[in-house]
């Protein structure tokens, strides 16, 4: 099977930069609802199976989701001169939190609240960047 990129001249697989990585991470947000519904459907197909809870639970769904979404945070970076800003703190928090869930194998139970926390952080970073650029951002209702 050949995998083709929308950007054949791209040098990285999952993106590099600040805005690029945030946007690519945010593109996964809608997938969470689809992934969650898929796991629920699969669980209903085998309600009496002893192994179903072991492999098809909310924590596993969250881990699988972050396994893909967090790939875009491996090479997230903040521009020089922004080192002492809250943006750096929040970007590091987002990267560490998401990679821990998606690639950390922590034996911790994960929930939809973890997904919400990550995307709240992503929005918070976007607002901080806009303010740093001299804008007066508003996240909007939807």
User: 70-129 pLDDT, tens per residue?
Assistant: 999 999 999 999 999 999 999 999 999 999 999 987 778 999 999 999 999 999 999 999
Task: Work out the pLDDT band at 44, boundaries 50, 70, 90.
Answer: confident
Give the DSSP letter string of 106-139.
------HHHHHHHHHHHHHHHHHHHHHTT-----
- Contacts of 51 by beta carbon, 8 Å cutoff, 6+ apart: none
Q: What is the mean pLDDT of the chain?
A: 89
Handedness of CA 82, 130, 68, 62 (dihedral sign): positive
**pLDDT tops 50 at residue 2:** no
As for how many domains the chain has, the answer is 1
**Predicted local distance difference test score (pLDDT) of residue 26:** 96
Residue 10 lies in a domain: no
Q: Are 70 and 99 in contact (CB under 8 A)?
A: yes
Residue 40's domain comprises: 19-132
Residue 40 lies in a domain: yes
Residue 138 lies in a domain: no
Residue 6 lies in a domain: no
Handedness of CA 113, 119, 63, 56 (dihedral sign): positive
Residue 13 lies in a domain: no
């Amino acid at each position: 099977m050949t995998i083709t990129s929308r950007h054949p001249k791209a040098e990285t697989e999952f993106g590099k930069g600040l805005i690029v990585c945030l946007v690519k991470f945010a593109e996964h947000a809608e997938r969470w609802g689809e992934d969650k519904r898929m796991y629920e459907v699969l669980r209903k197909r085998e309600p009496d199976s002893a192994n179903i809870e072991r492999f098809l639970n909310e924590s596993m769904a969250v881990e699988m989701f972050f396994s893909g979404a967090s790939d875009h945070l491996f090479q997230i970076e903040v521009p020089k001169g922004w080192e002492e800003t809250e943006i750096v703190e929040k970007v590091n928090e987002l990267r560490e939190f998401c990679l821990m869930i998606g690639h950390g194998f922590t034996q911790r139970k994960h929930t939809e609240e973890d997904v919400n926390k990550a995307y709240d952080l992503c929005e918070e970073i976007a607002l901080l960047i806009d303010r740093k650029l001299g804008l007066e951002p508003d996240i909007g209702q939807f």
